[in-house]
Amino acid sequence: MHKGETVGPLDTAVGYVLKEAASALRGAMDTTLRPLNLTVPQYACLELLGQRPGLSNADLARGAFVTRQSMNVVLQGLEARGLVVRPAEAAHGRQLPAELTPAGRAQLQAASTAVRAVEVRMCAGLSPARQKELLATLAVCARNLTETT
Amino acid sequence: MHKGETVGPLDTAVGYVLKEAASALRGAMDTTLRPLNLTVPQYACLELLGQRPGLSNADLARGAFVTRQSMNVVLQGLEARGLVVRPAEAAHGRQLPAELTPAGRAQLQAASTAVRAVEVRMCAGLSPARQKELLATLAVCARNLTETT
DNA sequence: TCCTGGATGTCAAAGTCCTGACATCGCCGA
DNA sequence: TCGGCGATGTCAGGACTTTGACATCCAGGA
């Protein structure tokens, strides 16, 4: 067996460490958001809407890396809790632009700071330059995989 | 609102891009492994066992970042398909050391090369040095989050 | 010696998510 | 003008994963 043809030791595989880091981040965010009665997809939805009000269900799904169906369930839950509002009818096409309520904005504020603390803890010991490079490198990886070519 | 107190634009958040890359990788592996009738956790289990024969269910669960229950289901499916074998009784304690069958090794061989191709595509355009740094940086992030301190 | 703690395998139940499918609606070229 | 095409929201159905709980087994100290 030639070297490099298989995945090789786990600790040296980029995919494995990537999944490890993502899993750790997911777990940390999960425990951090639990006191706020928010799941990670719910928080992602709030964060998206806070930065880009009026996003449709499909847009939110793409932004949170889930399917439209899952995001729809998330939106319904958030709507029932009074954190998000959607018009009953679409003004243009079928898109239903969602927006945060004041309560939703308050919830987002608390959740966002909590999540920010998790990110800070995750990047502890990393120089700003290294964080920049990590950001750019991960973006390249994502683009390489999402390209349809 | 002071700069940096909240998560900020999505594209500049490490956690967001990390999740994006992990999601893209998961999707790519999913489509790659589908022709082989393997899910990602199933492949992870096979890969783990290929590199470290005799791992117990709990060990495999930790290695694949899932719960013991999920890994147990995976193992049962793999066992039913004749890719993995486990002794009926534990020699020491309750741990049941699992091992690959010849068929399992063959399946792993095919899956491993396929996954390797995905990793190569993901890291296209990245210098070996940059891949090394990515590996090390992600490892630091994971450690920062898993530390119990 | 005993026994408390930690770890493991397993079961049941619930929740979450995805796949497949359908009807609707705007866009754009024939 | 109009018909195909892509995108969107929505509805089941099923697969997967997690949470919670329990009994069992080894290792350590009192």
Whether residue B5 has pLDDT greater than 50: no
111-130 in A: which are within 8 Å (CB) of B? 112-113, 115-116, 118-119, 121-126, 130
Local confidence band at B92 (pLDDT 50, 70, 90 cut-offs): confident
pLDDT of residue A13: 86
CB B20 within 8 A of CB A65: yes
> Token digits for A52?
């880009």
Distance CA B58, CA B46 (A): 14
Judged by phi (left if over 0) then psi (alpha if -120 to 50, else beta), residue B52 lies in beta
Structure tokens at A78: 């958030």
Q: pTM for the whole thing? A: 0.88
- pLDDT for A61-107, tens place per residue? 999 999 999 999 999 999 989 999 998 776 676 788 999 999 999 99
Q: Which residues of A touch B139 (CB under 8 A)?
A: 11, 17, 20-21
Closest nucleotide to A68 by C1' from CA = D9
pLDDT of B75 higher than 80: yes
> Distance in angstroms, CA of A20 to C1' of D12?
34
Residue with tokens 């964060």: A47
CA distance A110 to A112: 6
pLDDT band at B4 (very low <50, low <70, confident <90, very high): very low
> Which residues touch B87 (CB under 8 Å, ≥6 apart)?
B96, B97
* Residue B3, pLDDT above cutoff 70: no
Q: Among A44, A41, A55, which residue's Cα sits nearest to residue A96?
A: A55
The partner residues of B85 in beta bridges, in order of sequence, read B99
Q: Crossing angle of helices B128-146/A14-33, nearest 10°?
A: 30
User: What single string gives the DSSP state of each residue in A85-124?
Assistant: E--SS-SSTT----EE-HHHHHHHHHHHHHHHHHHHHHTT
Give the model's pLDDT for residue B23: 93
**Residue-wise pLDDT tens digits, A42-64:** 999 999 999 999 999 999 999 99
Per residue in A99-125, pLDDT tens? 999 999 999 999 999 999 999 999 999
State the Cα–Cα distance between residues B67 and A15, nearest whole angstrom: 20
